[in-house]
């Protein structure tokens, strides 16, 4: 009985401490808890193990590097580990300049020492001076918290409810609450007894977070200086609309959360109207997830899976088997995505080497931030987070508002179990944004073949692929002697326009290359800005043909454009003599998708369009495909990337 009392006592004390503050009891959600699963039997890093590795030689010290000149703008702090400052000078200068342009008043400080209490006291003084958000760069102080989970809110330790200790960023967000160390772990019972161990376990008073905190912990990722320099380069490019991103989201929900998947997808839809929604129990596997993030671009990925810091586990075969995805795979896959919401156990546990949330952010060409938990549990009530993003607030502001909504009427034990480990990795001052993207859909005129001396009015079709009306210019060049530029004003999102250019006279004889280019500052997708085609000028009367042109020489590929493509692409080729030609599309698994040509063709040039459909006329999913062209004595295989 004595030991049973020791196990229950911390939970009972917690419930009693918070009962007077509850205005209403929120129902315990019927949501399966994210669990630590791993194929290698790994266990969470303990505070004592982590603490033993921390440098105890440096005294606490903060030095200003840059102080804001404009005291009227929104004050934000950038705190940098002192040993990194000299290597990041130019990056920090660029970041400050970007933030000033966004109407922030940034202050930059170098920091040494590992005391979380000292850091929090500094943040309190900065908050009183008007600071609302802080970004922590490098190995800066970490506050740990310990607790016994109570997922069902019954005050009794049930199966699956154990002791946890974890980094707790809420400690630095709530600046006027009281954080205390009143208990210590009782190892033999995996429980807590009165004592102190430098790990917080009690949080009382005013719990509402005052500021947002985001963190860039790169030593556990490796090569801290180079990793941060790389990160700040893509951060600057994103802020200036130079980082290729796609304004859509991937919502990927594994078996245990299928009943909630539709609502969660709709929550993401508050920010992204264009979404790929995957929730089928047998489809959500590593063998599906890998090619999906390898072959298509997203600005946001919402991932729901049991996990561990080293990767994800997906159930299949009616939940009887596991399929594993390792964090170490992320750098080589290099997914084209910017933000990640990881409903995945301990994926954001930033004290673990190579943690998954850090791999997505720091080891990819476009990753900039991930939100997740440093323990079991994760984010719920997603609408309070995405709703803030939809209003144009930063990641950090939205995270703080979400936490505030959870705490507004008290924090029950189940909420503490779900949410106390939540943290934001990367630059919390970033916002989701609507991309600016226009491109050339097709060249309508000149046709494939024209008579010498004919006068043709060149004509092209352009489209606004972004979500905002834009003004832009188009340059058209034919051969070496013709160039014209036209302006397109106020083209609305999703609309197309036919643009006519100055008349062109068809000469000299032979093949003339046509190049059409859109010009728009900040265009986020360079793949569709340039369209290349050709026209053959022939002597005397000619016969227009939509598909063939006479050419000489060997078989060859003239052009594959666009690639990657969204709705359709054109495969061009030429043959020098009559021959049977087979043009076939296969998927990445080698399965036949579409037969585009299988017939005897005369000598000439051909352009064949693939509209992204299979032989049954059904749209195929985004991904990597291959086309093969085979004719007498020749065969070639090339890759295509479909981005829906």
Query: Per DSSP, what are the bridge partners of residue 424?
Result: 371
Burial class (CB in 10 A: 0-12, 13-18, 19+), 575: buried
Cα four-point dihedral sign 150, 152, 154, 159: negative
CATH 2.60.40.2550 domain position(s) in the chain: 548-644
Tokens 């585009």 belong to residue = 596
Burial 315-324 (b: 16+ CB within 10 A, else e): bbeeeeebbb
CATH class of 548-644: mainly beta
The phi, psi pair for 100, rounded to 5°, reads -65, -40
Decide if 472 contacts 495 (C-beta within 8 A).
no
Strands 592-601 and 579-587: antiparallel
**H-type helices in 220-257, by residue range?**
224-239
Decide if 463 contacts 441 (C-beta within 8 A).
yes
CATH 3.40.50.1460 domain position(s) in the chain: 2-426
First and final C-alpha spacing in the chain: 61
The pLDDT averaged over each successive group of 10 residues in the chain (644 residues) is 36 36 66 95 94 83 91 91 96 92 92 95 96 97 96 86 95 96 83 92 94 97 96 91 80 97 96 93 96 92 98 95 96 95 97 97 97 96 93 93 90 93 97 81 90 93 79 92 92 87 90 90 75 82 38 49 76 83 84 91 85 90 83 78 74
Give me the pLDDT at residue 549, please: 38
Nearest-5° Cα angle at 94, 89 to 96: 95
Contacts of the segment 99-103: beta carbons below 8 A, 24+ positions apart: 99/429, 100/70, 100/73, 102/239, 102/429, 103/73, 103/74
CATH 2.60.40.10 domain position(s) in the chain: 434-546
Decide if 132 contacts 173 (C-beta within 8 A).
no
Cα four-point dihedral sign 367, 369, 373, 374: positive
Strands 321-326 and 339-344: unpaired
Domain 2-426, classified CATH 3.40.50.1460, yes or no: yes
Q: How many residues does the chain have?
A: 644
DSSP string for 45-83: PPHHHHHHTS--SSPPEEEEEE--S-TTSEEEEEEEEHH
How many Å separate Cα 101 from the centre of its chain? 24
Nearest to 456 by CA among 419, 418, 421, 484: 484
Fold of 434-546: Immunoglobulin-like (2.60.40)
């Amino acid at each position: 009985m004595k030991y049973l009392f020791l196990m229950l006592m911390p939970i009972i004390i917690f419930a009693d401490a918070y009962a007077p503050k509850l205005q209403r009891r929120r129902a315990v959600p019927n949501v399966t808890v994210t669990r630590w699963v791993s194929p290698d039997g790994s266990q969470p890093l303990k505070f004592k193990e982590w603490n033993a590795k921390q440098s105890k030689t440096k005294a606490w010290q903060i030095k200003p590097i840059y102080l804001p000149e404009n005291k009227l703008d929104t004050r934000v702090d950038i705190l940098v580990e002192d040993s990194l400052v000299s290597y990041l000078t130019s990056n920090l200068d660029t970041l400050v300049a970007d933030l000033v342009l966004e109407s922030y008043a940034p202050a930059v400080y170098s920091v040494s020492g590992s005391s979380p209490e000292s850091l929090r006291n500094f943040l309190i003084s900065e908050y009183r001076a008007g600071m609302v958000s802080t970004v922590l760069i490098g190995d800066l102080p970490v506050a740990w918290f310990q607790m016994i989970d109570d997922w069902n809110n019954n005050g009794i330790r049930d199966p699956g409810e154990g002791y946890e200790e974890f980094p707790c960023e809420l400690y630095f967000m709530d600046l006027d609450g009281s954080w205390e160390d009143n208990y210590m772990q009782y190892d033999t019972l995996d429980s807590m007894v009165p004592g102190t161990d430098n790990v917080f376990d009690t949080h009382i008073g005013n719990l509402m977070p005052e500021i947002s905190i985001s963190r860039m912990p790169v030593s556990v990722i490796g090569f801290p200086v180079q990793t941060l320099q790389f990160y700040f380069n893509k951060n600057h490019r994103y802020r200036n609309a130079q980082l290729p991103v796609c304004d859509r989201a991937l919502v990927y929900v594994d078996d245990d959360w299928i009943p909630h998947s539709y609502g969660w997808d709709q929550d993401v839809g508050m920010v992204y109207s264009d979404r790929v929604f995957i929730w089928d129990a047998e489809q959500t596997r590593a063998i599906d997830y890998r090619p999906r993030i390898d072959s298509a671009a997203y600005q946001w990925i919402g991932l729901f899976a049991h996990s561990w810091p080293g990767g994800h586990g997906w159930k299949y075969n009616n939940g009887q088997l596991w399929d594993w995805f390792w964090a170490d795979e992320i750098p080589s896959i290099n997914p084209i995505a910017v933000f990640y919401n990881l409903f995945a156990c301990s994926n954001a546990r930033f004290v673990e080497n190579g943690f998954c949330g850090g791999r997505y952010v720091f080891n990819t060409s476009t990753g900039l931030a991930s939100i997740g938990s440093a323990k079991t549990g994760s984010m719920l009530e997603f609408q309070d987070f995405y709703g803030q993003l939809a209003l144009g607030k930063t990641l950090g502001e939205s995270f703080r508002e979400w936490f505030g909504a959870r705490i507004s009427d008290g924090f029950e034990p189940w909420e503490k179990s779900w949410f106390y480990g939540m943290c934001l990795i990367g630059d919390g001052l970033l916002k989701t944004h609507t991309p600016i993207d226009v491109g050339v859909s097709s060249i309508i005129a000149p046709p494939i073949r024209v008579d010498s001396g004919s006068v043709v009015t060149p004509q092209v079709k352009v489209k606004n692929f972004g979500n905002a009306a834009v003004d832009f210019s188009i340059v058209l060049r034919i051969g070496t002697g013709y160039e014209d530029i036209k302006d397109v004003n106020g083209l609305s999102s999703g609309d197309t326009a036919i643009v006519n250019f100055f008349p062109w006279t068809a000469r000299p004889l032979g093949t003339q290359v046509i190049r059409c280019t859109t010009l728009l500052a900040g265009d986020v997708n360079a793949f569709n800005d340039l369209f290349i085609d050709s026209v053959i000028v022939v002597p005397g009367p000619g016969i227009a043909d939509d598909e063939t042109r006479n050419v000489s020489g060997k078989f060859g590929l003239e052009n594959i454009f666009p690639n990657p493509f969204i709705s359709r692409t054109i495969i061009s080729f030429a043959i020098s003599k009559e021959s049977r030609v087979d043009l076939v599309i296969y998927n990445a698994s080698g399965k036949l998708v579409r037969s585009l040509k299988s017939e005897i063709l005369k000598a000439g040039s051909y352009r064949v369009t693939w509209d992204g459909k299979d032989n049954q006329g059904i749209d195929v999913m985004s991904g990597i495909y291959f086309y093969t062209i085979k004719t007498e004595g020749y065969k070639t295989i090339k890759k295509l990337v479909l981005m829906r």
